[in-house]
């Protein structure tokens, strides 16, 4: 079974802090994605990566950056957290880009105070 894990289920940070969200997958997938999910807005793509050290902006990349130094790990970085980044963050991976099934982690609920 594909397993995608995220470093924290719940996280509380203060405005201005630098925040790291980690995602690890164990299926040797080339592609990894970061989404945020907000009530009434559904899932929105922040960034995705189709190979090590490769990244591409999604629909809402502002205020975020990503890092993919190893194939199995994809990190989302909030350089200076703000209250409007309070959200559920979901990581996903797939073997063939968006054409194929995406496997999701359990999510990290981030609260920025």
**Using CB under 8 A as the criterion, which residues of the chain lie in contact with other proteins when the complex forms?**
4, 35, 40-45, 48, 50, 56, 58-59, 88, 90, 92, 97-107, 109
Nearer to other proteins by Cβ, of 78 and 92: the residue is 92
Shortest Cβ distance from residue 86 to other proteins (Å)? 15
Q: How far apart are CA 24 and CA 94, in angstroms?
A: 12
Q: How far is the CB of 16 from other proteins (least distance, A)?
A: 27
The count of residues in the chain is 113
In the complex with other proteins, the residue whose CB is nearer, 19 or 89, is 89
Sheet with 19-25, edge to edge strand ranges: 4-6, 19-25, 73-78, 64-70
Q: How far is the CB of 11 from other proteins (least distance, A)?
A: 14
Nearest approach in angstroms of CB 14 to other proteins is 23
3-class SS at 8? coil
Closest CB to other proteins among residues 59, 79: 59
- Give the residue with the Cβ less far from other proteins, 77 or 88: 88
Q: Is 83 helix (H, G, I), strand (E, B) or coil?
A: helix
Tell me the backbone φ, ψ of residue 84, rounded to 5 degrees.
-75, 0
Spatial CA neighbour of 31 closest among 99, 110, 107: 99
């Amino acid at each position: 079974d594909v397993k995608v894990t995220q470093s924290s289920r719940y996280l509380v940070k203060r405005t201005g802090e630098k925040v790291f969200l980690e995602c690890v997958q164990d299926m040797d997938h080339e592609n990894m994605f970061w989404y945020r999910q907000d009530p009434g807005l559904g899932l929105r793509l922040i960034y995705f990566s189709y190979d090590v050290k490769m990244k591409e902006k999604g629909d809402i990349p502002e205020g975020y950056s990503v890092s993919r130094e190893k194939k199995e790990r994809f990190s989302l970085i909030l350089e200076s957290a703000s209250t409007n980044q309070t959200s559920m963050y979901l990581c996903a991976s797939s073997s063939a880009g968006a054409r194929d099934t995406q496997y999701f982690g359990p999510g990290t609920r981030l609260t920025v105070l």
